[in-house]
Structure 1
Amino acid sequence: MQVRNHILEDVPFDASPHIGAAITPRFLVMHYTAGGSALNSVRAIRDRGLSAHFFVDRDGAIIQTVPCNRLAYHAGPSHWRGHDGLNSCAIGIEIANLGWLDRKEAGGWTRGGLTRVLPEAEVVVAAHKNGGRSMGWEAYPEAQLKAVAALTEAIRKAYPSIQEVVGHDDISPGRKQDPGPAFPLARFQHLGGAAGSGTLAENDFGTFEVSAREELNLRGGPGTGFAVLRKLSPGSRLRVLREEGDWRLVDLQGDAVPDGFVHGAFLRRLGA
């Protein structure tokens, strides 16, 4: 699976009329469609004046509707790591899935307006991480998850600017609950995004300390035009995850989750 000229090879491209300006993708945002097949969701979202870059069906089939370097209308009001309105810096993946099921019936789960009952074997019962009562959520089939994983790796290989994989419920908490507790987000957060995508050798990435005499800005992207997320004191320790020009994507907690970018001139490798 490979992205060339912003299009995923060997999958249908069903061009959406709802696209915006060119973007530099910084995030991958996972969604569920809250509906039936991927193709039906392509049509339903288009009719609402919305769009996403990719749709992944339950059997793993993928449809692309927006080039990866163009804005799609999938995130809405959102905020993450110093970025507001993630449509302007994120690739959206819509995963065919019914989402929440708040009514338990004999033999399974359903919700108002849904014409069928999902068997209990196809449902995960859990409370959402952002709050609320425990209820049913459609499980994601393994074939679908494998396709999302392959897609994630292909996108991150093509766009090393991508910092992180997040859920719609992360960037719009309280407003959105997709992809929900049935989606194993942690499985995708580090795919294709580890060290080695820059020019440093893979085994060169490791623990550094801030060598600046004054506080060092941690920014939301690789440049001074990005928002300052916080200031790091001289001597602060961190791990470098990726090189992007003069900038370094770093992890402050040691959990391999990217926290932001710092300028590489103000870092010193421990023991050097």
Structure 2
Amino acid sequence: MGDPTTYHFDLDPAARPAFAPLVERWWPGIRDAALKASSARIYDAILGVRAIVIHATAGGSSAGAASVIFDRRASFHWLVPDEDEPQHGQFVWATCHEARAAWHVRNACCHPMLWDGRGRINHWSLGVEVVNRQIRSDAFSDWQVEATAQIVLYAWAKYPNLRHVVSHAMLDPARRSDPGIWFPWERFRAAVLDGRKDEVPELVAGAAAIEAVLPSAPFCMVV
């Protein structure tokens, strides 16, 4: 059990991987919705990305998490499925265009350890949501931790100025606690820093056929 307001580590540019694959699929019907629930970045879409923020949903389903994008209440770039969902162990959901600033951190938030305390974090960050209720009985699965680490590795390889991996709670401690005290931050950190290799990792091998794991409906249902 840790303190999520302290969850943070930096990425050494000298150790940046040359390539890190990511098995992802767009959530059905969300691309257009995400354009309306995000903003044009004020910094370069590649060179301007400095941080990746780890969130947890506090809910038990990917559909419930994705619904906030369709409702234009918030957005995030990736969604990591829960262990009782068919996509778990197969792929992560893409839920917002990487070139856009997703609405996952309040504009007023900042931290002196990140880019000299600069605000408007959404414009220079990427957001990852992990489906989890943030309670002791709902443990994060090994695959969720590995998949979240793989998202970071993918982003680290793609964005040359990415330096910070940080929790939502560290950026907004008065209002947010995610990814929560039960998220295994040190294990996640080790998975990122020890996972710098160019080959496809085991966690993305043997993915099921897309038809077997996609939701049957072309839209988001709140559950």
Which TM-score band applies after superposition, normalised by the shorter structure? 0.5 to 0.7
Conserved 8 A contact 1:152-1:192: no
Gaps of 5+ in 1: 101-121, 124-137, 196-272
Q: State the partner residue of 2:92.
A: 62
What amino acid is aligned across from residue 57 of structure 1 in structure 2? P
| Structure with higher strand content | 1
- The answer as to 2:87 corresponding to 1:73 is no
| Structure with higher helix content | 2
What amino acid is aligned across from residue 122 of structure 2 in structure 1? N
CA distance in 1, matches of 2:194, 2:156: 6
Match of 1:41 among 65, 73, 96: 65
Q: State the partner residue of 2:218.
A: none
CA distance in 2, matches of 1:189, 1:79: 22
1:87-166 aligned within 5 A: 87-100=122-135, 123=137, 138-166=138-166
Identity percentage over the alignment?
28
Conserved 8 A contact 1:25-1:90: yes
CA distance in 2, matches of 1:10, 1:169: 26
**TM-score normalised by length of structure 2:** 0.62
Conserved 8 A contact 1:166-1:189: no
Map Cα deviations across residues 18-72 of structure 1 (whole Å, 9 max, x no partner). 1211342111100011112113210134325211011101224411121222100
Match of 2:39 among 16, 20, 23: 20
**TM-score normalised by length of structure 1:** 0.51
CA distance in 1, matches of 2:169, 2:126: 15
What amino acid is aligned across from residue 185 of structure 2 in structure 1? L
Conserved 8 A contact 1:2-1:9: no
Q: State the partner residue of 1:32.
A: 56
Q: CA deviation at 1:187?
A: 3.4
Pairwise CA RMSD: 2.7
Q: How many residues align?
A: 157
Conserved 8 A contact 1:26-1:163: yes
Q: CA deviation at 1:186?
A: 3.0
CA pair 10-52 structure 1, distance change in 2 beyond 3 A:
closer
CA distance in 2, matches of 1:66, 1:18: 9
User: Rg bigger for which structure?
Assistant: 1
Map Cα deviations across residues 195-254 of structure 1 (whole Å, 9 max, x no partner). 9xxxxxxxxxxxxxxxxxxxxxxxxxxxxxxxxxxxxxxxxxxxxxxxxxxxxxxxxxxx
Work out which structure has the larger RCO, using CA pairs closer than 8 Å and 6 or more positions apart in sequence. 2
SS of 1:147 mapped into structure 2: helix
Q: CA deviation at 1:12?
A: 2.4
CA distance in 1, matches of 2:169, 2:128: 13
- The answer as to 2:170 corresponding to 1:170 is yes
CA distance in 1, matches of 2:54, 2:185: 8
